[in-house]
């Protein structure tokens, strides 16, 4: 099958897929100088770590041979699943493949916030011997909004630091909370009681702007927010207000409302905001795990089987 990898800004992802894809398939990378729709008339599989354009009706109409749209990662909000189903195209992602990578980055951001590490890193280069006062993760309360694959890995690591873990998730069964040593609470309780709030939910109609002005008012003034999920889960203007008025102490973002974000946006000038360029899953191990799942699903679809997991199991696959 002809496979097109659309995320040209992540060469390691392309190389990982190239290593794992069977030689019976042909792998190409998107030409950034041309519209996607001009490059997919013979393509049977589209894959990307983050589709630069929404994969919707216009794209699917330009790809008569397309059989599978495969997110090279977890979040699939850039794919119109309803339209893909209408066109008989499978949609798949790779849940769990990057969980450890994102969980480790989450812990890194938590530590950076709580120890004011960015300030410490720059003191010597600025000719100063500053000692910014920090605090410890030990004994603090972590609130996990979402305790699926990634949230569960964060919970394990937080427990190792001696943190108390609260979690809010309407889809995960009670036994998972018990196994992770996390206390199940509603969102308001989590926001009121947590020293650090960490977000691990997909971007859906239900989670868009989940953390907004009302939610920030519930949080402690000493609280930190970490978002390694999706930018749209947090209302940007509400976050800016919370950081500038002292409603919360600081925040760390690995995901943004538009990617790449505008560096001139006033929010990125705030000293109590840490940013990283959506690198949660950017490790060699995670990319290899993801590529193996994509490659396996390309093989499955080539044989007339659905991908695992399939995000639109009701689809009637098109016949080429």
Name the catalytic one among 82, 179, 259, 308.
259
* Active-site annotation holds for 259: yes
* Active-site annotation holds for 104: no
Structure tokens at 301: 């679809």
Q: State how far the Cα of 247 lies from the Cα of 216, in Å rounded to an integer.
A: 7
Name the catalytic one among 67, 235, 249, 278.
278
Q: Are 109 and 254 in contact (CB under 8 A)?
A: yes
Q: Is 277 helix (H, G, I), strand (E, B) or coil?
A: coil
CA nearest neighbour of 200 among 292, 110, 85, 304: 110
Q: Are 240 and 213 in contact (CB under 8 A)?
A: no
Structure tokens at 176: 């998972």
**Given its phi and psi angles, is residue 252 left (phi above 0), alpha (psi -120 to 50 degrees) or beta?**
beta
Name the catalytic one among 67, 230, 235, 249.
230
Give per-residue burial for 91-113: e unless 16+ CB within 10 Å, then b.
bbbbbbbbbbbbbbbbbbbbebb
The residues annotated as belonging to the active site are: 230, 259, 278
């Amino acid at each position: 099958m002809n496979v097109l990898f659309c995320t040209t800004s992540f060469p390691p992802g392309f190389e990982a897929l190239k290593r794992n894809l069977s030689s019976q398939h042909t792998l190409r990378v998107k030409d950034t100088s041309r519209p996607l729709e001009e490059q997919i008339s013979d393509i049977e599989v589209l894959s990307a770590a983050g589709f630069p354009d929404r994969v919707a009706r216009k794209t699917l109409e330009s790809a008569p041979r397309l059989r599978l749209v495969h997110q090279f990662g977890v979040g699939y909000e850039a794919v119109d699943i309803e339209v893909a189903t209408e066109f008989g195209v499978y949609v798949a992602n790779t849940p769990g493949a990057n969980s450890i990578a994102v969980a480790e980055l989450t812990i890194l951001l938590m530590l950076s916030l709580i120890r004011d590490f960015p300030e410490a890193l720059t003191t010597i280069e600025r000719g100063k011997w500053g000692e910014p006062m920090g605090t410890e993760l030990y004994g603090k309360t972590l609130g996990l909004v979402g305790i699926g694959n990634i949230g569960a890995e964060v919970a394990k690591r937080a427990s190792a630091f001696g943190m108390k873990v609260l979690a809010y998730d309407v889809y995960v069964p009670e036994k998972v909370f018990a196994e992770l040593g996390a206390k199940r609470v509603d969102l308001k309780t989590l926001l009121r009681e947590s020293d650090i709030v960490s977000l691990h939910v997909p971007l859906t109609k239900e989670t868009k702007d989940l953390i907004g002005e009302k939610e920030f008012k519930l949080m402690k003034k000493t609280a930190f927010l970490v978002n390694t999920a999706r930018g749209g889960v947090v209302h940007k203007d509400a976050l800016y207000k919370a950081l500038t008025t002292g409603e919360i102490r600081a925040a760390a973002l690995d995901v943004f409302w538009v990617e790449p974000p505008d560096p001139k946006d006033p929010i990125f000038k705030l000293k109590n905001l840490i940013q990283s360029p959506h690198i949660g899953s950017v490790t060699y191990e995670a990319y290899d795990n993801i590529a193996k799942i994509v490659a396996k699903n390309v093989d499955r679809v080539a044989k007339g089987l659905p991908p695992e997991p399939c995000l639109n199991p009701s689809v009637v696959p098109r016949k080429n």
